[in-house]
């Protein structure tokens, strides 16, 4: 059954923690978002680890280079998993992967199936399929093309997380696809009742994949 | 004549400032490195802006998404320019570009000439040609292939910064190429005499392009 991950793209630790504690017991994975880490540094990860000692915590660094140093820093701060951007080199990914429990490749732009095979061959088994926030803002939506690429990655052997403009209404689109994790940010944190919003995601996941 | 930029990839603000004040009067541009921002957040940029009110300061966020928010945050912290990763979408780049004085595309992985033309068409005129730190660690070096790609970008109309494993010895390779900026990190900050090391870069730049 797919996991539910909340992405905290807040500007401050205080605001991120306030959001996190509302839904922390419902979601499976808590993400320190890129915006948050760029604003607050590794202290954002430390704060989440302090409040949620037993949850999977992801540092969404979208690391492109200096994989070893960035991953060491994030692991020291308490992150379990970390993200790297798909345009990072294989040596960067491998260097990062040795320092965290798991590394996730964030898929943006021109990646190919050959690239994906190279990541697998290098031992990277998690990928995040993205509808870019800015692409969504400019009117793009989830469609058949996205679904087919997600399916292809699953068939190749990746654990695939899916993110970008998700709502409980969108999830049935993925019926029959072995999605590893659905990631939602503001659809949960900006809801009038975040706890209810997180539970609504969980309910749909249970109904379709349970 | 090419600029000289020092990249501060320190883990703490204190260490970054200690390095920066040694060479701040010699270099043209000061970069808050990705490692530093991921560790210290926007406070790293604020600290550099405070100490260097009149220098060009770059926030090396390698932004992949949420361009507007990240760029607003970095501009608020005092950054003049910001970097985005080449696999970011055009809407992300455009959203970021409206918030900072200038946006630089960091070139990693599978970018094509067609991509580069799209960035130009979107008004993005700065690009950073990279030898990845991890690629360098695994033995890659500057060569004809890199030079040709840099030349191609310059001919297309980009202001091209060049970085990755540079030393004063390597700079003559770029003779005849209209490089906009040479970026050096540890070749300056980890030198036994950082001020002398920065001046050595400047001397070669003056000799070749002056």
Is A139 an interface residue toward B (CB < 8 Å)? no
- What is the residue extent of each domain of chain A? 3-209
Is A34 an interface residue toward B (CB < 8 Å)? yes
pLDDT of residue A5: 98
| Residue A102: both structure tokens together | 């798991």
Can you spell out the DSSP letters for A24-49? TTT-SEEEE-HHHHHHHTHHHHHHHH
pLDDT tens by residue, A140-158? 778 788 889 999 999 999 9
> Which of helix, strand or coil describes residue B124?
coil
Model confidence at B131, in pLDDT bands (50, 70, 90)?
Answer: confident
Model confidence at B142, in pLDDT bands (50, 70, 90)?
Answer: confident
pLDDT of residue A133: 63
Q: What is the mean pLDDT of chain B?
A: 95
Which residues of B, range 60-119, sit inside 8 Å of A by Cβ? 61-70, 73-74, 85-89, 91-92, 94-95, 106, 108-112, 115
Torsion angle (degrees, nearest 10) of CA B68, B70, B75, B78: 180
pLDDT of residue B141: 75
| Chain B nearest C-alpha distance from A29 (Å) | 21
- Chain B residue with Cα closest to A42: B39
Contact B9 A66 (CB under 8 A): yes
pLDDT tens by residue, A51-86? 999 999 999 999 999 999 999 999 999 999 999 999
pLDDT tens by residue, A76-124? 999 999 999 999 999 999 999 999 999 999 999 889 999 999 999 999 9
pLDDT of residue B56: 98
pLDDT of residue B166: 94
pLDDT of residue A141: 75
Contact B87 A67 (CB under 8 A): no
A151 near A177, Cβ under 8 Å?
A: yes
Integer Cα distance of A15 and A13 in angstroms: 5
Q: Which CATH architecture has domain B3-209?
A: Alpha-Beta Barrel (3.20)
* Chain B hits for A92, Cβ within 8 Å: 132-135
Contact A88 B70 (CB under 8 A): no
pLDDT tens by residue, B5-57? 999 999 999 999 999 999 999 999 999 999 999 999 999 999 999 999 999 99
Name the one residue in this structure whose structure tokens are 């260490």.
B15
Please list the alpha-helical segments (H only) found in chain A.
13-23, 34-40, 42-51, 67-77, 90-97, 113-121, 133-137, 144-156, 186-189, 194-209
Of all residues in chain B, the percent with pLDDT exceeding 70 is 96
Q: Which of A87, A94, A133 sits opposite B108 (nearest CB)?
A: A87
Is A135 an interface residue toward B (CB < 8 Å)? yes
Contact B134 A91 (CB under 8 A): yes
Using alpha carbons only, how large is chain B's radius of gyration in Å?
Answer: 16
Model confidence at A134, in pLDDT bands (50, 70, 90)?
Answer: low
pLDDT of residue A145: 83
Integer Cα distance of A22 and A196 in angstroms: 10
* Chain A hits for B69, Cβ within 8 Å: 9, 11, 35
* Chain A hits for B138, Cβ within 8 Å: 91
* Chain A hits for B44, Cβ within 8 Å: 41
- Inter-chain CB pairs, A–B, below 8 Å: 160
| Chain A nearest C-alpha distance from B41 (Å) | 4
pLDDT of residue B133: 63
Integer Cα distance of A63 and A134 in angstroms: 19
| Chain A nearest C-alpha distance from B105 (Å) | 13
How many CA atoms lie within 13 Å of B20's alpha carbon, on the beta-carbon side? 29
Contact B64 A34 (CB under 8 A): yes
- Chain A residue with Cα closest to B95: A134
Contacts of B73 (CB under 8 A, 6+ apart): A11, A35, A38, A39, B42
Contact B91 A132 (CB under 8 A): yes
pLDDT of residue B135: 65
A59 near A96, Cβ under 8 Å?
A: no
pLDDT of residue B176: 95
pLDDT of residue A135: 65
- Chain B residue with Cα closest to A139: B91
Contact A106 B44 (CB under 8 A): no
Q: Which of A34, A85, A135 sits opposite B89 (nearest CB)?
A: A135
pLDDT tens by residue, B98-129? 999 999 999 998 899 999 999 999 999 999 99
Q: Which of B125, B160, B186, B199 minimizes the C-alpha distance to B2?
A: B160
Mean pLDDT over residues B189-207, rounded?
98
Residue B132: pLDDT over 70? no
Number of H helices and number of E strands within chain B?
10, 8
Name the one residue in this structure whose structure tokens are 């539970």.
A199
pLDDT tens by residue, A27-45? 999 999 999 999 999 999 9
pLDDT of residue A131: 79
């Amino acid at each position: 059954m797919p996991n539910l991950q909340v992405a905290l793209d807040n500007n401050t630790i205080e605001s991120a923690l306030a959001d996190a504690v509302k839904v922390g017991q419902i979601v499976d994975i808590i993400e320190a978002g890129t915006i948050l880490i760029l604003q607050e540094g590794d202290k954002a990860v430390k704060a989440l680890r302090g409040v949620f000692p037993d949850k999977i915590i992801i540092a969404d660094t979208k690391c492109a280079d200096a994989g070893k140093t960035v991953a060491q820093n994030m692991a020291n701060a308490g992150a379990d998993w970390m993200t790297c951007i798909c345009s990072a080199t294989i040596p960067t990914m491998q260097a990062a992967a040795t320092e965290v429990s798991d590394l996730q490749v964030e898929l943006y732009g021109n990646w190919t199936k050959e690239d994906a095979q190279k990541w697998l061959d290098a031992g990277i088994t998690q990928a995040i399929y993205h509808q870019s926030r800015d692409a969504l803002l400019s009117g793009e939506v989830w469609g058949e093309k996205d679904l087919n690429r997600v399916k292809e990655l699953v068939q190749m052997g990746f654990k695939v997380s899916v993110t970008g403009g998700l709502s409980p209404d969108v999830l049935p689109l993925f019926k029959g696809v072995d999605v590893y994790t659905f990631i939602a940010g503001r659809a949960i944190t900006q809801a009038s009742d975040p706890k209810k919003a997180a539970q609504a995601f969980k309910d749909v996941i249970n109904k379709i994949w349970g």
